[in-house]
């Protein structure tokens, strides 16, 4: 079952894998509960839950250029000429809330809905998608970093609770992945990102999917409460 805030996007992916789709807003706990119930009714059960919904801060060209200039000044030791990025000081309540609700609340709702089905059966797998910025927070995206770090803490907490009952919960921390979330980044920004990654390139979605598949399958039967970074050496 493929879910997405945009129903047509979910349907397109589902058609590629001979699956089903639902339009779901993960910030709506009732909608997440209903999606799990619908999946069980349609598919006969639920074995694996992947909490993968996410958004990214919009690309700000002026702030990006300021960041680059500041880095050059820092390397030269000229801290007095650096200009504040004013990320947190200008952030609205709405921007903070949206980032936390989509990522952290979305994972909370997804884990809770899945566990209500997994616990009576004493089996099941949950994979939560965090980020390398949850391990190595970015000054350019404090709300994103906080939300992703929260997912890591939630994963470890839930994993410890349900491990005795045959339920595994793990997290994946992707680095920079070539997906539509980076569509606003120009080529200069992409090159700077590639330069920061020791492997010198962005990841593909397929590479991350292979790690999620491993954590979803029997090969990872002794893995729970683990945080698996896939950042090309970034974190």
Which tens digits make up the pLDDT trace of 51-89? Answer: 999 999 888 889 988 998 999 999 999 999 999 999 999
Segment 146-168 shows an average pLDDT of 98
Of the candidates 105, 109, 144, 234, the residue annotated as catalytic is 144
Q: What is the mean pLDDT of the chain?
A: 95
Given a contact cutoff of 8 angstroms between Cβ atoms, the answer to whether 50 and 30 are in contact is no
**105 flagged as catalytic:** no
pTM of the model: 0.94
* Token pair recorded at residue 227: 């945080």
Question: According to the model, what pLDDT value does residue 132 have?
Answer: 96
Query: What gap in Å lies between CA 211 and CA 190, rounded to an integer?
Result: 24
Instruction: Write the pLDDT tens digit of every residue in 102-125.
Output: 999 999 999 999 999 999 999 999
pLDDT of 235 > 80? The answer is no
Residue 122: predicted pLDDT = 98
Q: What is the dihedral of CA 221, 212, 117, 98, to 10 degrees?
A: 140
> Helix-strand-coil percent breakdown of the chain, rounded to 5?
55, 15, 35
**Per-residue confidence at 220, pLDDT binned at 50, 70, 90?**
very high
Q: Counting beta carbons within 10 angstroms of the beta carbon of residue 18, is it exposed (0 to 12), middle (13 to 18) or buried (19 or more)? A: exposed
Q: Mean per-residue pLDDT for 152-159?
A: 98
Residue 186 pLDDT exceeds 90: no
Report the DSSP beta bridge partners of residue 126.
49, 169
Class of domain 54-230: alpha beta
Measured between alpha carbons, how far is residue 16 from residues 6, 9, 33, 141 in Å?
Answer: 16, 11, 25, 33
Comparing 92-106, 119-133, 189-203, 220-234, the range with the smallest average pLDDT is: 189-203
**What are the residue ranges spanned by the domains of the chain?**
1-45, 54-230
pLDDT, tens only, 167-182:
999 999 999 999 888 8
């Amino acid at each position: 079952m493929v879910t997405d805030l945009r129903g047509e996007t979910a349907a397109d992916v589902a058609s590629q894998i001979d699956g089903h789709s639902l339009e779901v807003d993960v910030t709506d706990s009732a909608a997440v509960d209903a999606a799990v119930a619908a999946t069980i009714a349609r598919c006969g059960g639920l074995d694996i839950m992947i909490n993968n919904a996410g958004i990214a801060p919009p690309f700000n060209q002026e702030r990006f250029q300021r960041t680059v200039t500041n880095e050059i000044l820092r390397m030269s030791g000229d801290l007095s000429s650096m200009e504040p990025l004013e990320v947190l000081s200008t952030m609205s309540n709405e921007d903070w809330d949206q980032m936390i609700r989509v990522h952290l609340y979305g994972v909370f709702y997804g884990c809770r809905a899945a566990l209500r089905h997994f616990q009576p059966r004493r089996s099941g797998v949950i994979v939560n998608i965090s980020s390398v910025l949850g391990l190595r927070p970015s000054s350019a995206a404090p709300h994103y970093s906080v939300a992703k770090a929260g997912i890591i803490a939630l994963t470890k907490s839930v994993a410890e609770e349900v491990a005795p009952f045959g339920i595994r919960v793990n997290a994946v921390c992707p680095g920079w992945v070539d997906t539509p979330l980076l569509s606003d980044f120009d080529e200069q920004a992409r090159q700077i990102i590639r330069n920061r990654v020791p492997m010198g390139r962005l990841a593909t979605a397929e590479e991350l999917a292979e790690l999620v598949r491993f954590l979803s399958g029997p090969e990872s039967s002794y893995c729970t409460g683990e945080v698996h970074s896939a950042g090309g050496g970034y974190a």
